[in-house]
C-alpha cells in the first residue's frame, strides 16, 4: 500500500535515513495524498501503461504510480536517495530506479526498450530549476509520448497556456502548444510540500497531438524564428530576426516577409500566434531557397 502520502510516514523515512534536503536539486517532496491521487487521476494511468517518472525523491508518487501502472521507471539524480528508494519501493516489482540526470538520459531509447516504441506517459513533480529544458527535451527528442502530467511552478503553468497579447506569452507557450494541448488540472498550495517552496504550484497535463495543429515546412527554422523574436522582447520582430542572424535573408527580405504575413515591419513578435509564426517560417523558407 502507498503509505508515503501521510506526512508522518514521510517524516519517519527522512529521520530513519537522516536525509538532508538538497536545494540545488529542487527537492520539495509531496506530503498530501489528495494531491497525489489527483495527479494519478489526471494522468489517466492504467495497467497497460509504462510511466516515466522524473525525480522520485523518496518514492512518494512512485508508490502510487506502481499501483496504477504496468511498469514504472524513475530517474533520480541524487544518489543519497537511492538506498531510501530501495527501501520505500521494496514491495513493488514493477519499478526500476535509475540514478541519473534526466537531461543525460536517452529517453527515446528508454521508451523503445520499455514500451516497444509505443507512446509513454510521463508523470513528475518536477525540480523547478530545470522545468523548461526537461519539457523541451521530452518533445524535441522525438520520444513517442502520449501525455506529460507534471507539477510545475504556477507561473510556468500559466505561461504554457498563454495566447498572444499577454505579458507571459513567449517561446515556451508556443513550443508547448505546437506539440500538445495544455490543461491545468489543479493549483497546489505551498503546504502540500516538505519543505515548502516559496512559489505556488500547479499540475498541468500536456496531451501530445498526433499531428501538430499548424503546417510548417521547417520546424527547426520556425523555432529559431520564435527564439529570435522573444530573445529581444522589446525590439520589433524585424530587428529581432535581423539580430538573430537573418536566417539567410537580407534586411529588406525580412521586412517583406513580415509584410506578406499581413503586419507592418514594426510589429512585435509577441503579437503573432503559433499559426502566424508557422506561416512566417514558410515565407522565410521559400525566400531562402530563391
In Å, how far from its chain's centre is CA 288?
32
- Taking CB under 6 A as the binding criterion, the range among 122-130, 159-167, 220-228, 264-272 that sits at the site for ligand SAM is 122-130
- Taking CB under 6 A as the binding criterion, the range among 85-93, 95-103, 160-168, 275-283 that sits at the site for ligand SAM is 95-103
Min dist. Cβ of residue 54 to ligand SAM (A): 6
Q: Is 246 in the site for ligand SAM (CB under 6 A)?
A: no
Chain residues 169-208 in contact with ligand SAM, contact rule CB under 6 A: none
Contact letters (x/-) for ligand SAM, 42-61, by CB under 6 A? Answer: ------------xxxx--xx
How long, in residues, is the chain? 290
Chain residues 6-25 in contact with ligand SAM, contact rule CB under 6 A: 25
Q: Is 122 in the site for ligand SAM (CB under 6 A)?
A: no
Nearer to ligand SAM (CB atom), residue 177 or residue 201: 201
Q: Is 75 in the site for ligand SAM (CB under 6 A)?
A: yes
Q: Is 64 in the site for ligand SAM (CB under 6 A)?
A: no
Q: Is 27 in the site for ligand SAM (CB under 6 A)?
A: yes
Q: Is 78 in the site for ligand SAM (CB under 6 A)?
A: yes
Interface positions with ligand SAM (CB under 6 A): 25-30, 54-57, 60-61, 75-78, 101-103, 125, 127, 130
Amino acid at each position: 500500500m502507498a503509505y508515503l502520502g501521510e506526512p508522518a510516514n514521510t517524516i519517519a523515512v527522512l529521520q530513519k535515513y537522516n536525509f538532508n534536503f538538497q536545494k540545488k536539486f529542487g527537492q520539495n517532496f509531496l506530503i498530501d495524498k489528495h494531491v497525489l491521487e489527483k495527479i494519478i487521476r489526471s494522468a489517466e494511468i492504467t495497467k497497460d501503461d509504462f510511466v516515466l517518472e522524473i525525480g522520485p525523491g523518496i518514492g512518494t508518487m512512485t508508490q502510487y504510480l506502481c499501483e496504477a501502472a504496468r511498469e514504472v521507471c524513475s530517474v533520480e539524480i541524487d544518489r543519497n536517495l537511492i538506498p531510501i528508494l530501495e527501501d520505500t519501493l521494496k514491495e513493488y516489482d514493477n519499478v526500476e530506479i535509475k540514478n541519473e540526470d534526466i537531461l543525460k538520459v536517452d529517453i527515446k531509447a528508454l521508451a523503445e526498450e520499455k514500451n516497444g516504441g509505443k507512446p509513454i506517459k510521463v508523470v513528475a513533480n518536477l525540480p523547478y530549476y530545470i522545468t523548461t529544458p526537461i519539457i523541451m527535451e521530452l518533445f524535441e527528442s522525438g520520444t513517442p509520448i502520449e501525455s506529460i502530467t507534471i507539477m510545475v511552478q504556477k507561473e510556468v503553468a500559466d505561461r504554457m497556456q498563454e495566447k498572444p497579447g499577454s505579458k507571459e506569452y513567449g517561446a515556451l507557450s508556443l513550443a508547448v502548444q505546437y506539440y500538445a494541448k495544455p490543461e491545468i488540472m489543479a493549483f497546489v498550495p505551498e503546504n502540500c510540500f516538505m519543505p515548502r517552496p516559496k512559489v505556488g504550484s500547479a499540475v498541468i497535463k500536456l496531451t501530445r497531438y498526433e499531428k501538430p495543429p499548424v503546417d510548417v515546412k521547417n520546424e527547426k527554422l520556425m523555432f529559431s524564428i520564435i527564439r529570435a523574436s522573444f530573445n529581444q522582447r522589446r525590439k520589433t520582430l524585424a530587428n529581432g530576426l535581423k539580430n538573430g542572424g537573418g536566417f539567410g535573408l537580407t534586411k529588406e527580405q525580412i521586412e517583406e516577409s513580415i509584410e506578406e504575413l499581413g503586419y507592418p515591419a514594426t510589429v512585435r513578435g509577441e503579437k503573432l500566434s503559433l499559426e502566424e509564426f508557422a506561416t512566417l517560417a514558410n515565407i522565410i523558407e521559400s525566400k531562402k531557397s530563391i
